[in-house]
Amino acid sequence: MDRILSGDRPTGPLHLGHYFGTLQNRVRLQRAGAQLTLVVADYQVLTDTDTAARLGPAVDALVLDYLAAGVDPETTTIFAHSAVPALNQLLLPFLSLVSVAELERNPTVKDEIAHARRASVSGLMFTYPAHQAADILFGKATVVPVGQDQLPHLELTRTIARRFADRYGPVFPVPAALLSAAPLLLGTDGTKMSKSRGNAIPLGADADETARLIRSAKTDAGRHITYDPVARPEVSSLVLLAALCLDRDPHAVAADVGPGGAAGLKKLVTDAVNEYFAPLRARRAAYARDPGALRALLRDGNARATAVAEATLAEVKTAMNMHY
């Protein structure tokens, strides 16, 4: 049985990129019988944010989005990594297994630094991929459903698992990344849809807000709609979004819209998104009526993750001869 680990930063409500990038795969694998663990990566928010003040509501929104998307609250462990000390302790041996040069050349970290536009870069920004290795390896996950931006981090996790085995003996499996058919959905500005870039269409947005955001999406000067992700990334990302909602081939969707141009495409995408996500939005509203239950779920998940992390840390200490 696969052990699935995935997660998100509590920086705002989840968006369509999350859903088609990873969330749908998480739910699909869970329904097929895999054990699912979801990490609320709260320390990771501090890579590019100075304050933890807004964390509480963002954590609640994240758990709400998980449940709305169909994650089973009975069998899923949902936890915040700040609440699991034994997980965080894995960061120290893991950091000893990677070089500064490896951390510095991570392309996703470089891109995030460029978008953060801050005067200085914190140590956490460079080291969070190693922390993420602790998120993944503490529960010995075998499969990690992620978007494309996470591939360098997954590669680092695999390196850490292998190097740990070489140096101290086998404790961790080498996990595999799982990409979806939409590993890089673009936002309304034509760059990666991201919670913190102001370019996202939230899962929980209502039909009018969704229509407004899609109308504002960047396209190109081409009059005829085609599906060509390399030459026409913005238009193709919209076509793919409609195709995923309609469960159709993107080339066929583009051919249907064809001469309807950007306006026709946006109308089709809006209708498809609003119809596809209506049940999710209804579930979200229902779960939102009981915020106490969300926190209780998280407390339970924190306790379960702590038990798992303590067992793994004990194995790690034994492998490292740290038993006094």
Binding-site ranges for ligand ATP (CB under 6 A): 8-9, 11, 17-18, 21-22, 146-147, 149-150, 182-185, 192-197
Strands (DSSP E) found in 133-290: 143-145, 176-178
Q: How far is the CB of 187 from ligand ATP (least distance, A)?
A: 7
Minimum CB separation of residue 114 from ligand ATP in Å reads 13
Q: Which is nearer to ligand ATP, 241 or 313 (CB)?
A: 241
Per the document, the length of the chain is 324
Smaller CB separation from ligand ATP, 17 or 301: 17
As a whole number of angstroms, the distance between CA 167 and CA 103 comes to 20
The dihedral built from the CA positions of residue 218, 272, 237 and 48, taken in this order, carries a sign that is positive
- For the bound state, the minimum distance from the C-beta of residue 188 to ligand ATP, rounded and expressed in Å, comes to 11
Task: List CB contacts of 102: < 8 A, sequence separation 6 or more.
Answer: 156, 159
Q: How far is the CB of 144 from ligand ATP (least distance, A)?
A: 8
Toward ligand ATP, which CB reaches closer, 8 or 135? 8
* Of the candidates 139, 142, 133, 129, the residue with the CA atom closest to the CA atom of residue 164: 133
Q: Are 276 and 201 in contact (CB under 8 A)?
A: no
Between 36 and 185, CB nearer to ligand ATP: 185
SS (H, E, C) 214-234: HHCCCCCCCCCCCCCCCCCHH
Residues 315, 196: Cα–Cα separation, whole Å? 37
Pairing mode of beta strands 3-8, 35-40: parallel
Instruction: Could you list the beta-strand ranges (E) of 3-71.
Output: 3-8, 35-40
CB of 84 to ligand ATP, least distance (A): 18
CB of 147 to ligand ATP, least distance (A): 2
Q: Which is nearer to ligand ATP, 108 or 306 (CB)?
A: 108
Nearer to ligand ATP, 77 or 150 (CB): 150
